[in-house]
């Protein structure tokens, strides 16, 4: 199969819509990462997503809808705070898990009774969702376990020849996946950290828990138990610039080509070494993280990431990704 990459316009959206409505799957941009999309009501199409990615069959998908879609057609909204969060943070990188009404196929929710729902803010994605006017389910558009794609070219590298079309909507601005929030209980509970932070949710609705994924627990968000986001090269996670420097020099001694991935401040300290500079603010770092990992895997034998050693705000999501990709 030939994989076309088309810039988003009326014609390419019409083409993507046609493919989706006839049971195919396509790559689509969102503001977080690129997704691999299928019509959420088409079980056979959804199976293709799992096949193409090599995704574990017990890891459910997020359903995406446009901003005017009546979500009560798909889910029961049992708590008023969910309406408030929807008003404040959508369209945007917040996925809320509701009790499902069963309209999205069982293949997408892995037979479960909940549905994860998201309203992306990416303009091109909104146009596609509006054109289809039905839930589109999509995980990230990478091979399972690999780093999530943030450009159409990243998607092509993983899925070339396996899907007919990738809609090109430019580089994702968010850079890490959406926050996944369980809104079925009295208090909202973060299942996966992301750009909508615990602090933002507490400020908006008064409280927010963070789900702990302990050994032996019933895992509420199956995806969090898997290895994830790994670049195709060796990796290491250092606690400090000094430790990274020592690892770097050892690599060089061993005849390998290392790169250090770090924030702007450490990049300045480590001038003269091969560096992947993530930038300075939390938002900037999140936005660059996967792009730099995917750049790194092409030039480095080993990426040595320096830990941020903090978990406040967006750093909770960043450190979660960093530990899984480089730890």
x/- string (CB under 5 A) for Mg ion, residues 85-124?
----------------------------------------
140 binds Mg ion (CB under 5 A): yes
Among 38, 62, 238, 294, which residue sits at the site for ligand AMP (rule: CB under 6 A)? 62
| Residue 288 interacting partner from Mg ion, ligand AMP, none (CB closer than 5 to 8 Å by kind) | none
CB nearer to ligand AMP: pick between 277 and 320: 320
CB nearer to Mg ion: pick between 54 and 102: 54
Q: How many residues does the chain have?
A: 327
How far is the C-alpha of 243 from the C-alpha of 110, rounded, in Å?
Answer: 43
CB nearer to ligand AMP: pick between 15 and 143: 143
CB nearer to Mg ion: pick between 110 and 204: 110
Q: Sign of torsion, CA 70 76 79 85? A: negative
Query: Quick check: 8 and 29 in contact, CB under 8 A?
Result: yes
Residue 274, SS3 per DSSP: coil
Q: Which of residues 240-299 bind ligand AMP (CB under 6 A)?
A: none
Cα 90 → chain centroid:
16
CB nearer to ligand AMP: pick between 171 and 269: 171
x/- string (CB under 6 A) for ligand AMP, residues 208-227?
------------xxxxx---
User: Apex CA 321: angle with CA 318 and CA 324, to 5°?
Assistant: 150
Q: How far is CA 103 from CA 16, 114, 130, 146, 160, in A?
A: 22, 11, 18, 30, 31
Run of H or E residues at 19: helix 10-21
Count of CB atoms situated within 10 Å of the CB of 128: 26
CB nearer to ligand AMP: pick between 158 and 177: 177
* H runs (alpha helix) in 133-276: 152-159, 198-205, 241-253, 264-269
Query: Quick check: 27 and 37 in contact, CB under 8 A?
Result: yes
CB of 229 vs Mg ion, minimal distance in Å: 8
How far is the C-alpha of 139 from the C-alpha of 63, rounded, in Å?
Answer: 9
CB nearer to ligand AMP: pick between 193 and 233: 193
Q: Which of residues 114-153 bind ligand AMP (CB under 6 A)?
A: 114-116, 139-140
x/- string (CB under 6 A) for ligand AMP, residues 155-194?
----------------------x--x----------xx--
* Nearest residue to the partner ligand AMP, using Cβ: 223
Q: Please enumerate in sequence order all residues whose Cβ is within 8 A of that of 250, keeping only pairs 6 or more positions apart, or say none.
A: none
CB of 244 vs ligand AMP, minimal distance in Å: 28
Query: Quick check: 203 and 119 in contact, CB under 8 A?
Result: no
| Residue 6 interacting partner from Mg ion, ligand AMP, none (CB closer than 5 to 8 Å by kind) | none
Task: List residues near ligand AMP by CB under 6 A.
Answer: 59-62, 97, 109, 112, 114-116, 139-140, 177, 180, 191-192, 220-224
């Amino acid at each position: 199969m030939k994989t076309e990459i088309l810039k988003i316009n009326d014609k390419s959206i019409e083409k993507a819509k046609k493919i989706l409505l006839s049971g195919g799957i396509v790559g689509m941009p969102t503001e977080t990462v690129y997704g691999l999309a299928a019509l959420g009501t088409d079980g056979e199409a959804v199976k293709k997503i799992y096949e193409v990615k090599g995704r574990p069959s017990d890891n459910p998908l997020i359903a995406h809808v446009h901003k005017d879609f009546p979500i009560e057609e798909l889910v029961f909204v049992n708590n008023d705070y969910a309406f408030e969060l929807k008003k404040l943070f959508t369209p945007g990188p917040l996925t809320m898990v509701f009790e499902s009404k069963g309209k999205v196929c069982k293949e997408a929710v892995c037979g479960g009774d909940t549905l994860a729902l998201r309203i992306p803010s990416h303009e091109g994605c909104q146009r596609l969702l509006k054109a289809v006017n039905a839930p589109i389910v999509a995980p990230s558009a990478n091979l399972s376990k690999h780093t999530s794609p943030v450009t159409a070219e990243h998607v092509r590298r993983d899925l070339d020849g396996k899907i007919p079309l990738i809609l090109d909507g430019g580089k994702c601005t968010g850079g890490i996946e959406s926050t996944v929030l369980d809104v079925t209980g009295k208090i909202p509970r973060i299942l996966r950290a992301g750009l909508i932070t615990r602090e933002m949710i507490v400020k908006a609705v008064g409280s927010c828990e963070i789900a702990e994924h302990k050994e032996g627990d019933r895992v509420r968000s199956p995806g969090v138990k898997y290895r994830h986001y790994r670049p195709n090269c060796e990796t290491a996670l250092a606690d400090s610039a000094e430790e990274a420097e020592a690892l770097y020099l050892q690599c060089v001694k061993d005849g390998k080509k290392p790169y250090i991935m770090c924030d702007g401040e450490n990049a300045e300290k480590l001038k003269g070494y091969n560096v992947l500079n993530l930038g300075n603010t939390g938002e900037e770092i999140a936005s660059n993280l996967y792009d730099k990992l995917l750049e790194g895997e092409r030039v480095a034998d080993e990426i040595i990431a320096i830990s941020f050693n903090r978990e406040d705000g967006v750093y909770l999501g960043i450190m979660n990704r960093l530990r899984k990709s480089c730890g």
